[in-house]
Each structure stands twice: as C-alpha cells, then as structure tokens.
Amino acid sequence: MPTLPDMSGRILFINPNSSTACGAGIAAALAPFRAPGLPTLEVVSLPEGPPAIYTWADWFSAAGPILACIGREQERTDAFVIACASDPALPAAREATRRPVFGMFSSAVLQALGLAERFGVIAIVSASVARHALALRQLGVEARLAAEVPLDVTMDTLLDPVAVRARMIAAGTELVARGAGAVVLGCAGMAHHRAAIEQAIGVPVVEPAQAAAALALSRVLALGAATLDRAAE
C-alpha cells in the first residue's frame, strides 16, 4: 500500500493580545486539525500587545507587534493567521510577506456564507461591531449580515467556561430569530463555547480559529502538492 506524502509545514497563529489564556484557548480549538504528516499549527501570543482588542486604539496598537512577529517568523513559516476576530493589520501583514496571511474573522464569515444565506455575529463588546462592519464592507458581504449582538464583557469573563455561556446562547437565539442561518463567534476567546451554543440554537456555529485553520491548511497543502508534482516531472 503506498504511503502518503509528507505534507509537513508550519502555520503560525498570531494572537495579537497578551493573554496567554486566550492563546491557550485558540490552541485547544485547533486540536481537531492536527494530525501526523500535516502542517503543524502553532500559536504565539504577543506580550507587547494589548490585553484584548476592545477599542480601535487596541486594534491599531496591535499592528506593530503583528508585523514584527511576521518579520521574525516568516523564514520558517508557510502561512500566517492573525488570530483575532477583528482582523487587525491584515492588509499590512499581506504587504509585509510573500507567505499567505489569513484573518480569522474574514475566514469565519466565508465559511458561514458557505453554510447559510444570512449569518449573525456574537461580539465581545459593542465597539467590535464597527470593526466587523469594516471587514464585511471590505469583503463585500455586509448585505448578508442578519444581525450582530455584543456581549459587553471582558476577556477574562469570556474565558470562564460558565460565566457567560447562558448569555451567548441567548445572543445566538436572538440572531436566529432575526434571520441568521449560521452564527460566527466574533472573538478568539469564545472557542470553548462553540459546541454548546450550536447544540442549543440549532444552526451551525463557526469558530474563527477553526475556519482560518481550514483555509490555511488547504492553501499550504495545495502549495506542497504542487511542489511534489514539479519534483516528479
């Protein structure tokens, strides 16, 4: 029986905030995408970043650390994911490297659009709504947003396995009532709530790190397969 080719490589998820707990949550969400022979999925949190991306000031301040990280890591990385559901510095990151760069929020939206005609978003704070609106305009899909519901909680509260779960289910239920056929979790710290929300509201719930992992893996594997094809010629 022929052996499968080794498609090893490295995909780096850059958590632009300084929360190592948030970074650990992203790493846990990526567990189903890890397997022998596939590219490794690594997560790095940036100590020089803000504690979380709450405001536009946080969003802009994350750009420098993200670009510095890409500069340090690009020689040994096959693709990057900006692991924040506001996609900070995404255009600048793509300009700074020839490696593929994926934004978690845009990846999640694209997956949601493959699952339903209209989607909703659960945001960590009200200020996130404007940043998400900018990303949706850039994607040209703002008309397919059914609604967005902010929780207005801190990252620490969001990372608690119990404290905000009922509110997230209520937000998801509201989004479905307003026409969403799929729901996007609008913060990297929401990953551990995904399964419970989906079970409660009865529509697909898209976790951004997982959506970005699917896109990044498909791209890196395709590039690896093309290299193998050329070597065989």
Domain count, the chain: 2
Looking up residue 201, the CATH number of its domain turns out to be: 3.40.50.12500
**C-alpha to C-alpha distances, 147 to 40, 120, 150, 152, 207, nearest whole angstrom:** 35, 5, 10, 16, 17
DSSP label of 125: S
Residue 4 lies in a domain: no
165 and 225 in one domain? no
Q: What are phi and psi of 87, to 5 degrees?
A: 50, 50
Question: Where would I find the H helices in 74-207?
Answer: 90-96, 104-113, 127-139, 155-159, 165-177, 194-201
Q: Which domain holds residue 188?
A: 105-208
Residue 51, token pair as written in the block: 């504690």
135 and 165 in one domain? yes
Q: What is the C-alpha to C-alpha distance for residues 6 and 78, in angstroms, rounded to an integer?
A: 15
181 and 197 in one domain? yes
Q: Is 140 exposed, middle or buried (0-12, 13-18, 19+ CB in 10 A)?
A: exposed
pLDDT digit string (tens) for 135-152?
A: 999 999 999 999 999 999
pLDDT digit string (tens) for 1-52?
A: 444 455 579 999 999 999 898 999 999 999 999 999 899 999 999 999 998 8
109 and 99 in one domain? no
221 and 177 in one domain? no
Task: Supply the pTM of this predicted model.
Answer: 0.89
165 and 218 in one domain? no
pLDDT digit string (tens) for 51-99?
A: 889 899 999 999 999 999 999 999 999 999 999 999 999 999 999 999 9
228 and 193 in one domain? no
